[in-house]
Copies of this chain bind each other. A is one copy, B any other.
Amino acid sequence: MAREITPRSENYSQWYNDIVKKAGLAEHSAVRGCMVIKPYGFAIWEKMQAQLDKMFKESGHVNAYFPLFIPKSFLSKEADHVEGFAKECAVVTHYRLKQDPNGQGVVVDPEARLEEELIVRPTSETIIWNTYRDWINSYRDLPLLINQWANVVRWEMRTRLFLRTAEFLWQEGHTAHATEAEAVEETRRMQGIYASFAEDFMAMPVIQGVKTENERFAGAVDTYTIEALMQDGRALQAGTSHFLGQNFAKAFDVKYLNQNNKEEFVWATSWGVSTRLMGGLIMTHSDDDGLVLPPKLAPIQVVIVPIPKPGPEIAEVADKIAAELRSEGITVKIDDDAKKRPGFKFAEYEMQGIPVRIGIGKRDLEKNQIEIARRDTKEKFQVSLDQGVATVVELMEDIQKNLWNKAVDYRATHWTVADDWDAFVRALDEKGGFVSAHWDGTRETEVKIKEMTKATIRCIPNGQPKEDGLCILTGKKSSRRVLFARAY
């Protein structure tokens, strides 16, 4: 009943599109590169948001909201930043339309031209640091630990639902600190929080590391990243946390009086995850029958389907089980829609990745049992009525753990230590996944490797030990391995 999903083995990219579409997660809109996040997709995003927001608040951050627009001149104030973002900006030039004097519809009113163009934020460092100048005077105002949930726009030429869209939803943290050490600590803390979220909630193992200069955020001193591995062997950058040094403080003249009454520039971090995580979630766990969701992020964790027709007794049992599950904090849907056949419903919920399905039929009920089906393994089994709730409660943990283990196994079998160019290329071509290799540390070599293999340095893993070796491309000396992969 896997209605029209292209198998991964046949066309991975089409498989992804099929799932996004058929599970009702998102679709392309009439506006080039912008997506519509459909209700079911948005419900998953809301679960992710709620958990992340909780983790941010527990670590001392507060939310705020800054303008959608950035004056054009702000972008130029940090040299690397403008270099990185100017090429893909949506630019507002006018503030009024008028009736077309020559016919139908409306046209831009040429008289309503803005003196300075406004950029739709691609990220908010500039407008926020321009604001922080007024908020920060003394060491008493620091640290400033602010996050915002917002939409941003980057005019991407090639877009894919969730993974790369012109408009996307994200959160962006922007913190200000008195010392370099404190800012670096914050950058790392947020990397750690992102990793915990990815692993404990998304059941998606990630490598924590630092980016090379070439892959750094435009304006950052260091970019910390979490890197996941998708089922086609390509890596996905799932979240980044930037140590910005004093770059933005200098660009926007943000100073504070320290305890010795001396003026100093403020130290900064920024960090973000986006709706791109949805892409990671989908690709980490799903199979050829549709979406697979870890219970912790499933908007509906259990669906109960009375079979074949809900007699009064069956309905009663369904209600009772639902009530008991809900009192355990589990989200339950009862689908007693008589217009659809159970088989149709089963396929539907399989497609949507509901972790557990409970079937309640007359024959089972006569034997005082119900049927439980888990989405991850496709196992089905009967349990006695009085064991139903306890079984499902346990399954929530089992399924979460099983998805995690499967993803960890996948990564372990798609991880190669390569010591020469042939082994490096073979690993990328035959197996995909991460390749740990020596690199001479130059930008030139990094770019060349990318041109030749499409693989990029995903990161220098945290705690990667020093180890003498030779660069796989140039044969020059290297003191440490880095992690390569082809990536989204």
Pick the contact of A93 from B35, B94, B127 — CB < 8 Å? Answer: B94
Write the A54-73 contact mask toward B (1 if CB under 8 angstroms, else 0): 00000000111111111111
Is A338's beta carbon under 8 Å from chain B?
A: no
For A93, the closest partner residue in chain B by CB is B93
Q: Are A127 and B30 in contact (CB under 8 A)?
A: yes
- Indicate the member of A90, A117, A153, A339 with the most B CB atoms within 10 Å: A90
For this complex, into which size category does the number of interface residues on chain A fall?
A: 35 or more
Q: Are A74 and B131 in contact (CB under 8 A)?
A: no
Q: Are A96 and B92 in contact (CB under 8 A)?
A: no
Among residues 89 to 125 in chain A, which have CB atoms less than 8 Å away from a CB atom of chain B?
A: 89-99, 104-106, 108, 117-120
Q: Would A42 and B29 be within 8 Å (CB), given that A96-B155, A108-B91 are in contact?
A: no
- Whole-angstrom distance between the Cβ of A354 and the nearest chain B Cβ: 16
Pick the contact of A130 from B30, B42, B95 — CB < 8 Å? Answer: B30
Contacts of A18 in B (CB 8 A): none
Is A82's beta carbon under 8 Å from chain B?
A: yes
| In the bound complex, CA of A151 to CA of B75 (Å) | 22
Among residues 200 to 221 in chain A, which have CB atoms less than 8 Å away from a CB atom of chain B?
A: none
Is A46's beta carbon under 8 Å from chain B?
A: yes
For A40, the closest partner residue in chain B by CB is B62
Q: Would A93 and B108 be within 8 Å (CB), given that A39-B63, A42-B62 are in contact?
A: yes
Contacts of A131 in B (CB 8 A): 29-30, 36
For A150, the closest partner residue in chain B by CB is B151
- Whole-angstrom distance between the Cβ of A294 and the nearest chain B Cβ: 21
Is A452's beta carbon under 8 Å from chain B?
A: no
Contacts of A408 in B (CB 8 A): none
Is A88's beta carbon under 8 Å from chain B?
A: yes
Is A407's beta carbon under 8 Å from chain B?
A: no
- Indicate the member of A41, A71, A96 with the most B CB atoms within 10 Å: A96
Q: Are B106 and A95 in contact (CB under 8 A)?
A: no
- How many copies of this chain sit in the oligomeric assembly? 2
Is A87's beta carbon under 8 Å from chain B?
A: yes
Among residues 139 to 158 in chain A, which have CB atoms less than 8 Å away from a CB atom of chain B?
A: 140, 146, 150-151, 153, 155
For A74, the closest partner residue in chain B by CB is B30
- Whole-angstrom distance between the Cβ of A360 and the nearest chain B Cβ: 24
Pick the contact of A62 from B43, B72, B94 — CB < 8 Å? Answer: B43
| In the bound complex, CA of A458 to CA of B86 (Å) | 46
Q: Are B90 and A86 in contact (CB under 8 A)?
A: no
Q: Are A106 and B72 in contact (CB under 8 A)?
A: yes
Q: Would A118 and B29 be within 8 Å (CB), given that A86-B96, A151-B151 are in contact?
A: no
| In the bound complex, CA of A130 to CA of B30 (Å) | 8
| In the bound complex, CA of A97 to CA of B31 (Å) | 20
Q: Are B39 and A70 in contact (CB under 8 A)?
A: no
Is A167's beta carbon under 8 Å from chain B?
A: yes
Q: Could you list 10 examples of A-B contacts with CB < 8 Å?
A: A29-B127, A31-B70, A38-B64, A42-B64, A43-B63, A67-B167, A69-B90, A88-B95, A92-B92, A140-B339
